[in-house]
């Protein structure tokens, strides 16, 4: 197999292995909007703007959050190889530099071991609560430089979030451009998912496999705001709580920080056998976001991601492209 960068055989860093772990991170619509460049003392995570989603993500904020998710995985994978990783945003190329230096204290942690197990579990959970100790651990994991995590566990709060999500579903699923973009990223059967190695595989959310031509014919009838609202209401009710990631910065470095905080939260949840799944509609629909921020009583901050969490069962993993497809040479 072709190798680039330093390798572990001589005790150095295995850059390809770090990239493999980074690519297991969450990304919006599973677009995997990243490329990686390996240099001696760093790995640079570059945005792949050919994978942007201009309708749901017109300012590329989800894209940069996804780069933050990949960077966070890389930090824990580097520690497992005995390296300390420092993250720097480079505005000149809109990239995230992961600066690597040997560190005698760096070692494999429970968050590292969670990387290969983390997934968004988009099905209903079993309604059991999460303990106070676990909530504290989750909240701590979801804290970053400009980011904090608000945990909502009361029935009243979950009901209000459900209302916002329903309004978001109406706005998004009655918008032709939103539907077209979403459908473009859905992989309707395992063969299509395997061929492309990206996108939203139906089986990860419990949908039956269908031939692509048939799925495209009936998706218009199946994908409705009413149906989605019903599913989301059931899923939120079945969850132990909701985590809202709020930030004082709404710019590229801030989005990267936010993605890191979400990924850390998700890895910590995975380590505790707690599932997570996104419910971002009130954040993605601009008109709703300011109302949502007001409901959360945010002043100098804004809600930038939201997940539900609880106890559930693992679902099939979503796929990734081969790492040779995402490594760029100098
Ligand atoms: C910034 C960001 C936004 C996302 N938004 C949504 C969303 O609105 N709804 C959803 O179901 N999943 C959302 N996801 C989750 C992705 O669909 C998921 O990470 C991707 O399909 C890969 O699957 P995995 O996380 O199970 O590996 C989002 C992920 C990221 C990083």
What digits encode the pLDDT tens for the residues 237-276? 999 999 999 999 999 999 999 999 999 999 999 999 999 9
Q: How far is the CA of 28 from the centre of ligand 1 (A)?
A: 5
Tokens of 235: 């899923």
CA–CA separation, 69 and 262 (whole Å): 7
Q: What is the mean pLDDT of the chain?
A: 94
Q: How far is the CA of 199 from the centre of ligand 1 (A)?
A: 10
Predicted pLDDT at 4:
37
Residue 130 or 1, more confident? 130
Chain centre to alpha carbon of residue 44:
19
Q: What is the mean pLDDT of residues 191-200?
A: 95
Residue 11 or 50, more confident? 50
CA–CA separation, 57 and 37 (whole Å): 25
Q: What is the mean pLDDT of residues 84-110?
A: 97
Ligand 1: which of 20, 26, 147 to mutate, most ligand atoms within 8 Å of CB? Answer: 26
Residues for the chain: how many in total?
A: 330
Which residue's CA is minimally distant from atom 25 of ligand 1? 26
Percent of the chain at pLDDT > 90 equals 88
Position in ligand 1 atom list of the atom nearest CA 29: 17
Question: pLDDT tens digits for 53-92?
Answer: 999 999 999 999 999 999 999 999 999 999 999 999 999 9
* pLDDT confidence bin for 330, thresholds 50/70/90: confident
Which residue's CA is minimally distant from atom 15 of ligand 1? 28
* pLDDT confidence bin for 149, thresholds 50/70/90: very high
CA–CA separation, 37 and 266 (whole Å): 26
Architecture in CATH of 132-310: 3-Layer(aba) Sandwich (3.40)
* pLDDT confidence bin for 304, thresholds 50/70/90: very high
Q: How far is the CA of 26 from the centre of ligand 1 (A)?
A: 6
Is beta strand 200-201 parallel, antiparallel or unpaired with respect to 186-187?
A: parallel
* pLDDT at 227 exceeding the cut of 80: yes
Tokens of 325: 């497809």
Q: How far is the CA of 90 from the centre of ligand 1 (A)?
A: 25
Is beta strand 302-310 parallel, antiparallel or unpaired with respect to 147-152?
A: unpaired
Predicted pLDDT at 222:
86
Position in ligand 1 atom list of the atom nearest CA 63: 1
Residue 190 or 284, more confident? 284
Predicted pLDDT at 6:
40
Count Cβ atoms within 10 A of the Cβ of residue 9 and give its class: 0-12 exposed, 13-18 middle, 19 or more buried: exposed
Predicted pLDDT at 150:
98
CATH level 3 topology of 15-118: NADH Oxidase (3.40.109)
* pLDDT confidence bin for 8, thresholds 50/70/90: low
Q: How far is the CA of 1 from the centre of ligand 1 (A)?
A: 31
Q: At what angle do helices 155-173 and 225-237 cross, to 10 degrees?
A: 160
CA–CA separation, 80 and 2 (whole Å): 23
Equal fold, 15-118 vs 132-310: yes
Which residue's CA is minimally distant from atom 3 of ligand 1? 28
Q: How far is the CA of 277 from the centre of ligand 1 (A)?
A: 7
Which residue's CA is minimally distant from atom 10 of ligand 1? 278
Which residue's CA is minimally distant from atom 24 of ligand 1? 119
Ligand 1: which of 27, 34, 235 to mutate, most ligand atoms within 8 Å of CB? Answer: 27
Q: How far is the CA of 188 from the centre of ligand 1 (A)?
A: 17
**Sequence spans of domains, the chain:** 15-118, 132-310
**Are the C-beta atoms of residues 249 and 257 closer than 8 Å to each other?**
yes
**Whose CA is closest to 38, among 3, 11, 86, 87?**
3
Which residue's CA is minimally distant from atom 28 of ligand 1? 28
Q: How far is the CA of 89 from the centre of ligand 1 (A)?
A: 22
* pLDDT at 215 exceeding the cut of 70: yes
**Are the C-beta atoms of residues 267 and 70 closer than 8 Å to each other?**
no
* pLDDT at 280 exceeding the cut of 50: yes
Q: How far is the CA of 51 from the centre of ligand 1 (A)?
A: 14
Residues with CB under 6 A from ligand 1: 26-30, 62, 65-66, 69, 119-120, 122, 200, 278, 280, 318
Q: Is 206 left (phi over 0), alpha (psi -120 to 50) or beta?
A: left
């Amino acid at each position: 197999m072709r190798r680039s960068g330093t390798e572990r055989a001589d005790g150095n860093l295995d850059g390809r292995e770090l990239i493999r772990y980074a690519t297991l991170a969450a990304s919006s619509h599973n677009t995997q909007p990243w490329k990686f460049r390996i240099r001696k003392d760093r790995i640079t995570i570059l945005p792949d703007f050919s994978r942007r989603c201009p309708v749901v993500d017109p300012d590329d904020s989800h894209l940069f959050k996804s780069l933050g998710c990949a960077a966070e995985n890389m930090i824990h994978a580097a520690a497992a190889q005995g390296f300390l990783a420092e993250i720097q945003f480079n505005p000149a190329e809109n990239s995230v530099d992961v600066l690597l230096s040997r560190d005698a204290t760096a070692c494999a942690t429970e968050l590292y071991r969670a990387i290969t197990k983390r997934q968004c579990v988009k099905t209903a959970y079993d309604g059991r609560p999460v303990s106070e100790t676990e909530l504290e651990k989750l909240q701590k994991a979801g804290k970053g430089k400009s980011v904090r995590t608000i945990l909502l566990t009361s029935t009243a709060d979950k009901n209000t979030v459900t209302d916002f999500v329903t309004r978001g579903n109406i706005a998004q699923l009655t918008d032709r451009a939103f539907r077209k973009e979403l459908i473009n990223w859905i992989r309707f059967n395992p063969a299509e998912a395997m061929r492309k190695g990206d996108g939203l595989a139906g089986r990860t959310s419990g949908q039956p496999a269908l031939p692509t031509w048939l799925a495209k014919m009936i998706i218009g009838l199946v994908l409705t705001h009413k149906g989605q609202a019903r599913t989301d209401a059931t899923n939120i009710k079945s969850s132990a709580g909701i985590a809202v990631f709020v930030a004082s910065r709404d710019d590229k470095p801030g989005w990267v920080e936010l993605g890191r905080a979400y990924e850390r939260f998700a890895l910590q949840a995975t380590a505790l056998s707690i599932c997570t799944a996104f419910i971002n509609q009130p954040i993605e629909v601009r008109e709703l976001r300011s109302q949502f921020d007001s409901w959360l009583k945010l002043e100098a901050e804004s809600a930038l991601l939201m997940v539900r969490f609880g106890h559930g069962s693992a679902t099939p993993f979503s796929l990734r492209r081969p790492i040779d497809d995402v490594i760029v040479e100098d």
